[in-house]
Amino acid sequence: MAKKDVKITINGKEYSSKVEPRMLLVHFIRDVAGLTGTHVGCDTSNCGACTVVLDGKAVKSCTVLAVQADNRRITTVEGLARNGKLHPVQEAFVDKHGLQCGYCTSGMLMTSFWLLQKNRNPTEKEIREALSGNLCRCTGYENIVKAVKEAARAISAEQNKDLVKEEPIEA
């Protein structure tokens, strides 16, 4: 089978490679880009451990071929932190104990990140619905839902802080 050239931008960095047309995106991310935070869980799209954000949409990277991601942009769990500072979603998962063994965590983080990009103030029902494609066998989901709510509050507070002007208002 002839290999295909692909160029995929992951976390702002471009990766180019010749790949088998049947190579899954999850394997490109892990084996070509060397980003192992995206986990291979079930290879059937049931567990969500491989969730990434592809052009602004949460997808299970075990259901996407690398050739389908050619010339597209991906964010993985490694791309959430900025300048050594955890993303509010990551901080909230730590603070609210939204993780235990850690296997599902990257997928949960990416799904939560995606949800909060499109809905800054989700209800508990919306959070649970968004996370319904991600399986966790350790936490029972309660602390994960609390973490997403906390992340939403933190992101809103951060945005409100940016709206406040430093200059005094003249009377």
Domain assignment present for residue 121? The answer is yes
The percentage of residues in the chain with a pLDDT greater than 90, rounded to a whole number, is 81
Same domain, yes or no, for 72 and 96? no
**In whole angstroms, what is the distance from residue 117 CA to residue 149 CA?**
13
pTM, whole model, 2 decimals? 0.90
Same domain, yes or no, for 64 and 39? yes
Q: Has residue 147 got a pLDDT over 60?
A: yes
State how many domains the chain has: 2
Same domain, yes or no, for 95 and 135? yes
Mean pLDDT for the stretch of residues 98-116: 94
Residue 43, pLDDT score: 74
Residue 85 pairs in a beta bridge with: 82
The answer to whether the Cα torsion of 94, 95, 99, 105 is positive or negative is negative
Average pLDDT, the chain: 92
Mark which of 78, 103, 126 sits at the end of a domain: 78
Mark which of 78, 104, 122 sits at the end of a domain: 78
Task: Give the range of the structural domain holding residue 141, as residue numbers without chain letter.
Answer: 88-163
Mark which of 78, 98, 129 sits at the end of a domain: 78
Q: Has residue 166 got a pLDDT over 70?
A: no
Same domain, yes or no, for 35 and 93? no
What are the residue ranges of helices labelled H in 9-168?
25-27, 88-95, 105-118, 124-131, 142-163
Q: Has residue 105 got a pLDDT over 90?
A: yes
Residue 163, pLDDT score: 55
Residue 117's domain is classified under what CATH number? 1.10.150.120
Residue 154, pLDDT score: 96
Contact assessment for residue 147 and residue 89, using Cβ atoms and an 8 Å cutoff: yes
Domain assignment present for residue 51? The answer is yes
Same domain, yes or no, for 144 and 102? yes
Q: Has residue 161 got a pLDDT over 50?
A: yes
Same domain, yes or no, for 48 and 96? no
